[in-house]
Amino acid sequence: MKIGRICSLAAACLVTLAACGTQDAAMRKLNGLSDVASADSMGPLPTNVVRIPTDEPKDLVESSSIVMSETQPGIVFTTNDSGSDPVLFALDTTGATRGRWEVGNATNRDWEAASRGPCIRTDSATTTQPASCLYVGDVGDNSARRKAVTLYQLVEPSVRQDMSVGVLQARALYVRYPDAPHDVEAMYVGPEGTLYLITKRALKDKSGALRPALVFSVPATAWMRLDTTVGTLLDSLPIVPGSADQRQITDASLAHDSQYLAVRTYGQVFTFATDSATGRVRHDIPPAPCNIVATEAKHGEGITWFAGSRELLLSNEGRNAPLHRITCPLPPR
């Protein structure tokens, strides 16, 4: 092995060790958290990259999340982040605008996350449940000061051939974290309705060492409550925010068959194998990283899976910012 290669490997090991740090043993044992921190390799480049120009509405200026419909082929839902009106937008995979709906009983303090998932019953009625719901997370908290965050559930609207407009009504769920406020931009919903929230920014343990990203869960039964729900510190991911440039977690998406979870940072996509019954990450299989720094998508935040395939769609910040269709490596199952 060449000397340069040995030095590179040694440097990577030192960075990884520094990122892992010393964890609070009692807390980690109590919550069963992963001790694996991310390797510093950025991973291979994506393949089959397709840039999709968009013709977005004037008030869609910063797409913070993106969700592929499971019931309407080629339809994608997205939202603006903080300071914008509570509005749901629809595009299609050609980049054309297809719909705009005001969410009448919601506020947008900092909408940073969205996901599709099953519609969770919030009463004891026996009426038929809608086929698919959208979940919007008002979970952004740059200063980590919010006492509670708000999750919204709304029935996925039907998108017509021409431009769809209207008003939607949402149900709200108030959640606080069990330890302290967190800035979150990644959220996904498991097949049985559990909500998962993944922390974005660098966290440190008592010694000052960087910690892996934390995963909090909220059970489907929480939608039956009227008071604030306390999330559960469920897991951590082998991604260490702050351990490399652009390594902050901005979105996550569970594949339509619940076999894989894609977690996006500004510079990478990490794809995890998951338990298809719950959507939880399998820690017995290492994630597959993918380097998106070389694409325009490095400035974006959203990610979603194409229905019925292993391709991913990335959204970007800015007026009429393009979408990117890519293929990233998958971990073995």
For residue range 268-277, list pLDDT tens digits in order: 999 999 999 9
Say what the pLDDT of residue 136 is. 98
What pLDDT is attached to residue 62? Answer: 84
Domain annotation covers residue 184: yes
Residue 332 lies in a domain: no
Tell whether 105 is covered by a domain: yes
Q: Is 40 contained in some domain?
A: yes
Q: What is the pLDDT of residues 214-228, one digit of tens each?
A: 999 999 999 998 899
Contact 317, 270 (CB under 8 A): no
Q: So what's the pLDDT on residue 21?
A: 39
Predicted pLDDT of residue 6:
37
Exposed e or buried b for every residue in 154-189, given b needs 16+ CB within 10 A? Answer: bbbbebeeeebeeebebbebbbbbeeeebbbbbbbb
Residue recorded with tokens 């968009």:
54
pLDDT at 142 (0 to 100): 94
pLDDT, average across residues 112-121: 94
In a domain, 333, yes or no: no
CA distances from 22 to 37, 75, 79, 280 (A): 11, 45, 38, 24
pLDDT-above-90 percentage for the chain: 71
| Predicted confidence (pLDDT) at residue 38 exceeds the cutoff of 70 | no
The count of structural domains within the chain is 1
Q: Confirm whether 293 is domain-assigned.
A: yes
Domain extent, residue 103, equals 3-327
Whole-number Cα distances in Å, 209 to 10, 19, 22, 240, 300: 19, 7, 6, 10, 28
CB 152 within 8 A of CB 172: yes
Burial of 309 per CB tally in 10 Å (0-12, 13-18, 19+)? exposed
DSSP class per residue in 116-155: EEPPPP-SS--SPPPS-EEEEEE---TTS--S-EEEEEEE
pLDDT score of 125: 56
Compute the average pLDDT of residues 9-14: 38
**C-beta separation of 113 from 199 below 8 A:** no
Question: Which has more pLDDT, 298 or 98?
Answer: 98
Cα separation, 299 vs 293, in Å, equals 9
Give the pLDDT confidence score for residue 234 in this predicted structure: 98
Quote the pLDDT of residue 5.
Answer: 41
Q: Is 59 a residue whose pLDDT tops 70?
A: yes
- The CATH code of the domain that includes 71 is 2.115.10
Measure the CA–CA gap between 108 and 10, rounded to whole angstroms: 46
The whole-angstrom separation of Cα 239 and Cα 236 is 8
Residue 195 lies in a domain: yes
User: What pLDDT score does 263 carry?
Assistant: 98
Residue 26, sorted as left (phi over 0), alpha (psi -120 to 50) or beta, turns out to be: alpha
Model pLDDT, residue 122: 67
More confident residue, 279 or 27: 279
Task: Evaluate whether residue 19 is within a structural domain.
Answer: yes
User: What integer is the mean pLDDT of 180-188?
Assistant: 98
